[in-house]
């Protein structure tokens, strides 16, 4: 497995990757997009911070790429939809730098209030501008925190410690939760109207790009001070310039910019504007945290398939993975078997989880089923990241249900597939700890281990039927490794007049032998399978 680290990553993370068995690491930072594009095809994993842009164009040439790991939080430099479509897992490290970034926002607010950058610059230039640089106290001032996530909530807590009055706006966090933490939840307009300081901690999304704009500034208190340590572009820089020029905004501190690095920003000419070059996460502690976290996540994913902190696929940690693994294997095999039993385009898939699954989140199992079902159709293009997207693109409606009743089993997964031509249902369970079995195909009960070269044969339940099948295979030098016979059930537990035979053979059954079997007088259907 080859890992490319294309942005500055804490040395400890690089050492961890270098020490991991079976992993080769290249560190190549500061590459131009074209240079990165020319080498990305060699790598299984890419580790980035905020400089590398993972675009659809780049992903098109990244044939081997399995995972992109962001040492940090924001993923606006990664085209997640394009990565998902190509089956690339995208993961970040959501907690390692949150304290550091919150501290930076507080530092920016204090530096702005007390003119620390200007004091430093003028003093170094030989001036003693004491009078010009009078600041303002933050004690008892109102701070409006926009976005009460991991960073916003720490900023709110630190501001409380500085004896500020904290008000919070976050439409996705209940007022009860905000109040439980001891803060006042307010509407955005009220936050604008009341705040002496506003600090922004929302992700850069369609709805948040440019949302601190002229209209927002108009609603703010005169003389407000603004801090943005979230993402460039959330604050409209042209509108901020006008608001500062007019005196509406008394000071602004930006760590992040619409374009990074910013070129000749008009904001730079304003004395009450301070800035840092995207330093929010730049402390030794935070960089150690995120480097260790992303290195471990990449190692775990490449070596054991454990997915942690992925944003485009459910995270499955080692413990959960151990519990889910038998059901994932069963789901994958059920999907694969189903794909070989149906014909015609698939319209819909119903997955029923029945009985006791120990409270597990079974969404990865559903994904495994869909992946198994799609694999023969789209071959290597499908994996557990993009399976739901491919299903949706193909118009396949997937529904899931759960119920307590698992018939005679502890737990049972029933998969029903509707195509334009037929409806097929099969059910599977896990015997013991780790033994997946298919126990029903349509009306036929059986007990089949879904594995290897196999065939399903429907025959009339008459003397000589099974013998003729064995003779035909033997004559063609095909050894039967395992054979199970299931009985058709026609309702109320009554047996019908057909059997279903499941055969596992040591070698694939060639097409001409399949034909020979189909021509046997008591045989009705022969379906060759590769499981």
Ramachandran angles phi, psi of 512, nearest 5°: -70, -30
* 96-155 binders of ligand AKG (CB under 6 A): 97
- Comparing CB distances to ligand AKG, the nearer of 280 and 528 is 280
From the list 49, 158, 278, 437, the catalytic residue is 278
Smallest separation, CB 349 to ligand NAI (Å): 32
436 binds ligand AKG (CB under 6 A): no
203 binds ligand NAI (CB under 6 A): yes
For residue 56, the SS3 value is helix
Beta carbons of 347 and 420 less than 8 angstroms apart: yes
Beta strands in 31-100 (DSSP E): 45-48, 67-70, 89-91
Site mask for ligand AKG (CB under 6 A), range 260-299, x = bound: ------------------x-xxx-----------------
- Comparing CB distances to ligand NAI, the nearer of 310 and 369 is 310
Binding residues for ligand NAI, how many (CB under 6 A)?
32
For residue 397, the SS3 value is strand
* 52-91 binders of ligand NAI (CB under 6 A): 72-74
What residues have CB less than 8 Å from 467, skipping those under 6 apart?
none
Ramachandran angles phi, psi of 327, nearest 5°: -75, -35
* 22-51 binders of ligand AKG (CB under 6 A): 49-50
What residues have CB less than 8 Å from 34, skipping those under 6 apart?
none
* 255-294 binders of ligand NAI (CB under 6 A): 255-256, 278, 280-281
Site mask for ligand NAI (CB under 6 A), range 98-127, x = bound: x--x--------------------------
333 binds ligand AKG (CB under 6 A): no
Q: Are strands 197-200 and 67-70 parallel, antiparallel or unpaired?
A: unpaired
141 binds, among ligand AKG, ligand NAI, none (CB under 5 to 8 A by kind): none
- Comparing CB distances to ligand AKG, the nearer of 74 and 335 is 74
Residue nearest to ligand AKG (CB): 72
User: Within a 13 Å sphere around the CA of 16, how many CA atoms are in the beta-carbon half?
Assistant: 20
- Comparing CB distances to ligand AKG, the nearer of 254 and 398 is 254
228 binds ligand AKG (CB under 6 A): no
202 binds, among ligand NAI, ligand AKG, none (CB under 5 to 8 A by kind): ligand NAI
201 binds ligand NAI (CB under 6 A): yes
85 binds, among ligand NAI, ligand AKG, none (CB under 5 to 8 A by kind): none
Binding residues for ligand AKG, how many (CB under 6 A)?
10
- Choosing from 10, 72, 147, 251, the residue that interacts with ligand AKG (CB under 6 A) is 72
* 151-180 binders of ligand NAI (CB under 6 A): 151-152, 169-173
Beta carbons of 352 and 405 less than 8 angstroms apart: no
Using the contact rule CB under 6 A, the part of the chain among 204-212, 313-321, 348-356, 387-395 near ligand NAI is 204-212
- Residue 365 has a CB neighbour count (10 Å cut-off) of 24
C-alpha–C-alpha distance, residues 296 and 67, integer Å:
13
Using the contact rule CB under 6 A, the part of the chain among 33-41, 199-207, 342-350, 367-375 near ligand NAI is 199-207
208 binds ligand NAI (CB under 6 A): yes
Nearest to 348 by CA among 323, 324, 373: 373
Is 400 a known active-site residue?
A: no
Is 184 buried (19+), middle (13-18) or exposed (0-12) by CB count in 10 A?
Answer: middle
* 329-388 binders of ligand NAI (CB under 6 A): none
Ramachandran angles phi, psi of 396, nearest 5°: -85, 120
221 binds ligand NAI (CB under 6 A): no
- Comparing CB distances to ligand NAI, the nearer of 10 and 74 is 74
Is 333 a known active-site residue?
A: no
- Comparing CB distances to ligand NAI, the nearer of 249 and 256 is 256
C-alpha–C-alpha distance, residues 52 and 78, integer Å:
8
Beta strands in 115-261 (DSSP E): 142-146, 165-169, 184-185, 197-200, 224-228, 249-254
Nearest to 317 by CA among 327, 305, 326: 305
Beta carbons of 449 and 436 less than 8 angstroms apart: yes
C-alpha–C-alpha distance, residues 528 and 347, integer Å:
23
Beta carbons of 47 and 4 less than 8 angstroms apart: yes
49 binds, among ligand AKG, ligand NAI, none (CB under 5 to 8 A by kind): ligand AKG
Beta carbons of 83 and 55 less than 8 angstroms apart: no
149 binds, among ligand NAI, ligand AKG, none (CB under 5 to 8 A by kind): ligand NAI
Q: Are strands 165-169 and 142-146 parallel, antiparallel or unpaired?
A: parallel
* 468-497 binders of ligand AKG (CB under 6 A): none
What residues have CB less than 8 Å from 457, skipping those under 6 apart?
469, 500, 501, 503, 517, 523, 525, 526, 527
Is 453 a known active-site residue?
A: no
Q: Report the interface residues with ligand NAI, using CB under 6 A.
A: 72-74, 97-98, 101, 146-152, 169-173, 201-204, 207-208, 229-231, 255-256, 278, 280-281
Q: Which residue numbers are catalytic?
A: 231, 260, 278
Site for ligand AKG, rule CB under 6 A: 49-50, 72-74, 97, 278, 280-282
């Amino acid at each position: 497995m080859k890992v490319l680290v294309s942005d500055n990553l804490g040395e400890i993370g690089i050492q961890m990757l270098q020490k991991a068995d079976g992993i080769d690491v290249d560190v190549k930072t500061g590459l131009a997009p074209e240079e990165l594009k020319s080498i990305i095809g060699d790598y299984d994993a890419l580790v980035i911070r905020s400089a590398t842009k993972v675009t659809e164009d780049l992903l098109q040439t990244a044939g081997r790429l399995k995972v992109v790991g962001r040492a940090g939080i924001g993923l606006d430099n990664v085209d997640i939809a394009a990565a998902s479509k190509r089956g690339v897992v995208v993961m970040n490290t959501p907690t390692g730098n949150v304290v550091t970034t919150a501290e930076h926002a507080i530092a920016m607010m204090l530096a702005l209030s007390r003119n620390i950058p200007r004091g430093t610059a003028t003093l170094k230039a030989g001036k003693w501008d004491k009078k010009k640089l009078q600041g303002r106290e933050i004690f008892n001032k109102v701070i409006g925190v926009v976005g009460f996530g991991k960073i916003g909530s720490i900023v709110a807590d630190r501001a409380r410690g500085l004896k500020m009055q904290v008000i919070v706006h976050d439409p996705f966090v209940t007022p009860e939760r905000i109040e439980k933490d001891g803060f006042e939840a307010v509407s955005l307009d009220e936050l604008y109207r009341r705040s002496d300081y506003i600090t922004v901690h929302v992700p850069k999304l369609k709805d948040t790009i440019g949302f601190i704009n002229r209209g927002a500034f108009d609603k703010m208190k005169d003389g407000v001070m603004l801090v943005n340590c979230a993402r460039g572009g959330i604050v409209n820089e042209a509108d901020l310039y006008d608001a500062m020029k007019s005196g509406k905004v008394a000071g602004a501190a930006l760590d992040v910019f619409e374009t990074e690095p910013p070129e000749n920003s008009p904001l730079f000419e304003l004395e009450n504007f301070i800035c840092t070059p995207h330093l929010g996460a730049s402390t030794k502690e935070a960089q150690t945290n995120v480097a260790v976290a992303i290195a471990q996540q990449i190692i775990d994913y490449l070596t054991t398939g454990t997915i942690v902190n992925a944003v485009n696929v459910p995270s499955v940690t080692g413990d959960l993975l151990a519990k889910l693994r038998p059901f994932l294997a069963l789901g994958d095999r059920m999907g694969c078997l189903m794909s070989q039993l149906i014909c015609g385009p698939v319209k819909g898939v119903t997955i029923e989880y029945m009985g006791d699954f120990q409270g597990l989140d079974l969404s990865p199992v559903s994904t495994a089923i869909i992946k198994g079902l799609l694999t023969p159709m789209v071959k290597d293009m499908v994996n557990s990241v993009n399976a739901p997207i491919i299903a949706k693109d193909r118009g396949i409606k997937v529904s899931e249900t759960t119920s307590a009743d698992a018939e005679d089993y502890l737990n049972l997964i029933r998969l029903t597939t509707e195509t334009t031509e037929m409806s097929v249902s099969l059910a599977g369970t896990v015997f013991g700890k780790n033994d997946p079995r298919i126990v029903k195909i349509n009306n036929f009960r059986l007990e089949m281990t879904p594995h290897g070269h196999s065939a399903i044969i429907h025959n009339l339940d008459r003397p000589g039927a099974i013998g003729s099948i064995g003779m035909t295979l033997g004559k063609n030098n095909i050894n039967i490794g395992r054979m199970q016979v299931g009985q058709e059930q026609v309702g109320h537990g009554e047996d019908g007049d057909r059997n279903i035979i499941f055969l596992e053979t040591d070698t694939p059954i060639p097409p001409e032998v399949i034909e020979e079997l189909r021509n046997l007088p008591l045989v009705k259907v022969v379906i060759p399978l590769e499981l």
